[in-house]
Amino acid sequence: MDENFQDLLNQNKKPERLKPGTLLEGEVVEIREGAVVVNAGLKSEGVIPIEQFTNKNGELEVSEGDIVEVALDSLEDGLGETLLSRERARNIRTWTRLEEACESGDIVKGFLLNKVKGGFIVDLDGISAFLPGSLVDMRPMRDLTYLEGKELEFKIIKLDRNRSNVVVSRRAVLESEHGAGADEMKNLSEGMVVKGIVKNLTDYGAFLGFGSFDGLLHITDMAWKRVHHPSEVLAVGDEIEVKILRYDKEKNRISLGLKQMTEDPWTQLVRRCPVKSRVFGKVTSITDYGCFIEIEEGVEGLAHISELDWTNKNISPSRVVSVGQQVEAMVIDVDEDKRRVSLSLKKCKDNPWNEFSSNQRKGDRLKGVVRSINDFGIFVGFTDYGIDGLVHITDISVTEPPDEAIRRYKKGQQVEVVVLSVDPGRERISLGIKQLNDSHLHDYLGKHPKNSAVTGTVVAVTDKSVIVNLADNVHGVIPVSEVSQDGAPKAGDSVEAKLTGHDKKNCVLSLSVKAREKEEQAVKVRQYAAAEKPAGTSLGDLFREKLRRIKVGGRKGAGDKSG
């Protein structure tokens, strides 16, 4: 009874020495809905909200019978109950540990929560601390999102418990590690494979952290294929293995390589993808001058804009392909040294120029649609082939000046043309409209052979020639040098000329007025000679008689002068 009495006496005295904030140990005697009952040896048991005993995932961390540390909030709350707090106990214990770490310079661990003005908030086991942006790393970093939510090491540089003010530095930890890592860097060598974490991305590469030292992975060493920005390959926070390419011990600079971890896909590429072979690939990017196609992992080829379509060499690449599209292409050149592959999409399709050349011949007549009109002619499209041919401005009309004749045509108009020539290699088709009258010329020539006299009406006069309408769709040209000595005729005048030739290229007949006039004079001379000739005499006799008269006349003239 004496011992029991002494225990009761001690229990009655103990509360008198306690004050709010005192840390106590208690036993979990009951877990009920929404609360945990803890017996800390006081007048009454404490009922603590169950949330103070759960982790971040909402899982209960204690069970009945466990000994836990709690803090005294109040001996009585007005209803005779003792108020205890596990959360306050943790807070007090954390502050004590932080004060000790601040005095000793020890490292503490915490979680980077979120960004605030000027820095970040760090959770140090329930105590919020401030991490200035300048103290996050040894060098300025634009992207620190990869650190958020991760447990990191810090040093406390300022602490005021009364104001609940704590300032920490991560850079101080890294600088101390960097000094300690100097010995570790001595063991590094070129060709060594190391594992690091992507700390920062720039336009030219990525910085990787290896605990006590950093290294640069340049954008050209990230992948064998073209990389426009490091974010296409890596993300901040990624843990990757890289190879040390260069190590400058004097400047402590390390150059890293990621693509060097795999075999160079360009080696022996020409054997796997010989010229004229067909390959399948994915369009990775589109530019103004073509599109890039990945034909193997790490190997991209360029399909130039001129190799996208047979018909339109200046077509916009985005009208032919789209990024991510799977396409078939033909290899037209491989340069392993320069790491270039030239591809063609159009060569995987039938060549319409060869098809046109096989089906159409010179002189064939076709119908097409005017695609476009420019200063030098008219482009006529053929729907069946998907290609265009050119009617040069000089092949539109015989009678009209070219600049006037071209005005009679409009885009979309259907026209009939004659094939003048086809060059599949140069992808050119020459067409003519004025040559449609060629059959009329043949008919006319059948009735009016070369050197025959013809009559026509002047329809146009230029500086170089006179154009004459001889019959329906039949025209002749009189060069200026072949017009009459009396002067050039005017439009509407009727002229007689000699048919001297057939200009097949321009589908006109060559005429000469002078030749006609010379021929007429020769006829008159012959007629005159025939009229002066007596019966039974020859032309020789007439000639000799003419000479005799000339001599006699000469003698008479001389005698008169002497007399």
Query: Tens digit of pLDDT for each residue in 146-168?
Result: 777 778 889 998 988 888 899 99
CATH class of this structure's domain 269-348:
mainly beta
- 64 or 329, which is more confident? 329
Segment 500-508 shows an average pLDDT of 72
Segment 123-133 shows an average pLDDT of 88
Share of the chain above pLDDT 90, in %: 20
- pLDDT at residue 496 tops 90: no
- pLDDT at residue 536 tops 60: no
461-488 burial, b at 16+ Cβ within 10 Å, e below that, comes to beeebbbbbbeebbbbbbeeebbeeeee
Q: Confirm if 514 and 521 have CB atoms less than 8 A apart.
A: no
Question: What residue spans of 18-82 are helical by DSSP H?
Answer: none
d(CA 561, CA 128): 150
- 472 or 173, which is more confident? 173
- Distance between alpha carbon 186 and the CA centroid of its chain, in Å? 45
Question: What residue spans of 81-170 are helical by DSSP H?
Answer: 86-104
With bands split at pLDDT 50, 70 and 90, how would you rate the model's confidence at 333?
A: very high
Q: Confirm if 478 and 488 have CB atoms less than 8 A apart.
A: no
User: What's the pLDDT score for residue 230?
Assistant: 92
- Distance between alpha carbon 520 and the CA centroid of its chain, in Å? 75
Question: Under CATH, domain 105-174 is a member of which superfamily?
Answer: Nucleic acid-binding proteins (2.40.50.140)
List Cβ neighbours of 177 (8 Å cut-off, separation of 6 or more). Answer: 211, 212
User: What's the pLDDT score for residue 181?
Assistant: 53
With bands split at pLDDT 50, 70 and 90, how would you rate the model's confidence at 457?
A: confident
Residue 301: other Cβ atoms inside 10 A: 25
Segment 189-195 shows an average pLDDT of 87
From residue 363, alpha-carbon distances to 377, 421, 422, 471 in Å are: 19, 8, 11, 22
Residue 553: other Cβ atoms inside 10 A: 10
3-state SS class at 171: helix
Q: Confirm if 171 and 135 have CB atoms less than 8 A apart.
A: yes
User: What's the pLDDT score for residue 5?
Assistant: 40
d(CA 516, CA 468): 15
With bands split at pLDDT 50, 70 and 90, how would you rate the model's confidence at 90?
A: confident
- pLDDT at residue 4 tops 60: no
Q: Does domain 352-432 have CATH number 2.40.50.140?
A: yes
Q: Where do you find CATH 2.40.50.140 in the chain?
A: 18-91, 105-174, 188-261, 269-348, 352-432, 437-519
d(CA 247, CA 186): 10
Segment 462-484 shows an average pLDDT of 80
The DSSP secondary structure of 364-425, one letter per residue, reads -EEEEEEEEEETTEEEEEETTTTEEEEEEGGGS-SSS-HHHHGGG--TT-EEEEEEEEEETT
The DSSP secondary structure of 119-143, one letter per residue, reads EEEEEETTEEEEEEGGGSSSS--S-
Residue 492: which region, alpha, beta or left (left: phi > 0; alpha: psi -120 to 50)? left
CATH class of this structure's domain 437-519:
mainly beta
User: What's the pLDDT score for residue 14?
Assistant: 47
d(CA 473, CA 470): 8
In the sheet that 83-85 helps form, which strands lie side by side, from edge to edge?
A: 46-49, 35-39, 23-32, 67-74, 83-85
Segment 255-280 shows an average pLDDT of 90
In one letter, which amino acid is 259? K
**Parallel, antiparallel, or unpaired: how do β-strands 508-512 and 474-479 relate?**
parallel
User: What's the pLDDT score for residue 369?
Assistant: 93
Residue 310 DSSP class:
S
Segment 53-73 shows an average pLDDT of 79
By mean pLDDT, which of 84-88, 260-264, 423-427, 525-529 is the weakest?
Answer: 525-529
Query: What's the pLDDT tens digit per position in 204-261?
Result: 899 888 866 788 999 999 988 888 899 989 988 888 999 999 988 776 788 999 999 9
Query: What's the pLDDT tens digit per position in 31-46?
Result: 888 888 888 777 777 7
By mean pLDDT, which of 197-201, 332-336, 411-415, 501-505 is the weakest?
Answer: 501-505
The DSSP secondary structure of 504-524, one letter per residue, reads TTTTEEEEEHHHHHHHHHHHH
Segment 434-450 shows an average pLDDT of 73
With bands split at pLDDT 50, 70 and 90, how would you rate the model's confidence at 183?
A: low
Share of the chain above pLDDT 70, in %: 83
d(CA 224, CA 158): 49
- 3 or 411, which is more confident? 411
- pLDDT at residue 326 tops 90: yes
d(CA 409, CA 415): 9
What is the fold of 188-261?
OB fold (Dihydrolipoamide Acetyltransferase, E2P) (2.40.50)
Q: Confirm if 170 and 154 have CB atoms less than 8 A apart.
A: yes
By mean pLDDT, which of 82-86, 99-103, 175-179, 228-232 is the weakest?
Answer: 175-179
With bands split at pLDDT 50, 70 and 90, how would you rate the model's confidence at 554?
A: low
For the question of whether the overall pTM of this predicted structure is more than 0.95, the answer is no
With bands split at pLDDT 50, 70 and 90, how would you rate the model's confidence at 538?
A: low
Segment 116-125 shows an average pLDDT of 88
CATH class of this structure's domain 18-91:
mainly beta
With bands split at pLDDT 50, 70 and 90, how would you rate the model's confidence at 52?
A: confident
| Dihedral of the alpha carbons of 247, 248, 251, 257, in degrees to the nearest 10 | -40
Q: Which helix (H) or strand (E) holds 553?
A: helix 539-562
Q: Share the mean pLDDT of the chain.
A: 81
Q: Which two tokens stand for residue 222?
A: 């990230």
Per the document, the length of the chain is 563
